[in-house]
Structure 1
Amino acid sequence: MGLKVGDTVPDFSLPDQEGKTFHVKDVLGKKTLVIYFYPKDNTPGCIAEACSFRDSYEQFAQLGAEVIGISSDSEKMHRKFASKYRLPFVLLADTQKKVKRLFKVEDNFFGMLPGRETYVVNKEGKIILVFNSVNASRHMQKALKALKAESNE
């Protein structure tokens, strides 16, 4: 069983596509986080998911949220992927799958596909949305809806 709404986001650090280390604790207290785990750069579902976050990035920014994509691809792969699709957000290289394990992201289809999960984390570090679906197109919509609901409270 993975992390649930109300849980505190685990503390983690990973390299981004530029080789800089991203520390989640540097963002907490300042911004809401949208953290999405995806299987692999340059695959059809992952391209669609990344581009949906890209196309709605301004809405996330206006709501004070930072979008972060995480997969087990390398920094170099992420750099090419981000450049090719003009992704304005951070991609983190979880090559050892340590953060995936911290979040307890499960593989789908009997372990054949790496998990696809999205978490929305408020400024205080509490998880306000967990969405797990192989349907890549729904992740951005669910995250945006959760952020809008949070900002209206």
Structure 2
Amino acid sequence: MALKLGSKIPQFTAIKDDGTDFQSNDFIGKTPLVVYFYPKNFTPGCIKEACDFRDSYEDFKNMGVEVIGISSDSIKSHERFKSKYRLPFIFLSDEKGDLRKLFGVKAGLFGMLPGRETFVIDKEGIIRLKFNSINSSQHLKQAIKTVKEMMNG
């Protein structure tokens, strides 16, 4: 059952880019999240999207929001990606696609590529934005707009 707008995200565990466990319960009830799924490290659209989030990361942190990038890349690949582009936020490795399935992220480009989808999740764990677009440049704009509405609402 895919998560929808207004759904509460369930508890999940994943491996962070530093090899340690990520527990969603460490954030739910405490911190709003921007969780973005993207196809692959080191590809042009994914580099642009990651750098867009990097360039706005301080704005998110100032609003008390954590950013998390998720792809099927390995931990080692995430380490290299973060290092090369100086990406300050958390990356989760979803090599088996369990998180994609949990969040209901659809494949893009006729099922050939893993989907590109961004979620904004409020402090209580409720999904406030579920944005799916192959156009990487739209994801940051949608996330910031939703976070600002959430903070002012």
User: Could you tell me the TM-score, scaled by structure 2's length?
Assistant: 0.97
Q: Is the Cα–Cα contact under 8 Å of residues 10 and 103 in structure 1 kept in the other structure?
A: no
Kindly report the root-mean-square deviation, in angstroms, between the aligned alpha carbons of the 2 structures.
Answer: 1.0
Matched ranges for 1:1-153 at <5 A = 2-153=2-153
Amino acid in structure 1 at the alignment position of 2:117: E
Residue 110 of structure 1: CA displacement? 1.6
2:53 is aligned with what amino acid? Answer: F
SS in 2 for 1:112: coil
Is the 1:2–1:106 contact (alpha carbons within 8 Å) kept by the matching residues of 2?
no
2:136 is paired with a residue whose SS is coil
Quote the Cα distance in structure 2 between the aligned partners of 1:103 and 1:139.
16
Asked if the contact 1:119/1:127 (under 8 Å) is kept, the reply is yes
Is the partner of 2:100 in helix, strand or coil? Answer: helix
Q: What is the one-letter code of the residue matched to 1:83?
A: S
1:100-137 deviation line (CA, Å, top 9, x unaligned):
10011110122111100000000101000010000001
Letter in 2 for 1:34: V
What's the secondary structure of 1:105's corresponding residue?
Answer: coil
Aligned residues: 153
Are the aligned partners of 2:9 and 2:126 in contact in 1 as well (CA < 8 Å)?
yes
Deviation digits for residues 39-94 of structure 1 (CA, Å, limit 9, x no counterpart) = 00000000000000000001111111000000000000000000000000000000
Measure, in 1, the Cα distance between the counterparts of 2:147 and 2:133: 18
CA–CA separation in structure 2 for the residues paired with 1:82 and 1:33: 19
Q: Contact between 1:33 and 1:66, CA under 8 Å: does it hold in 2?
A: yes
| Identical columns (%) | 54
Q: What is the SS of the residue equivalent to 2:14?
A: strand
TM-score by length of 1: 0.97
SS of match in other structure, 1:49: helix
Counterpart amino acid of 1:80?
R
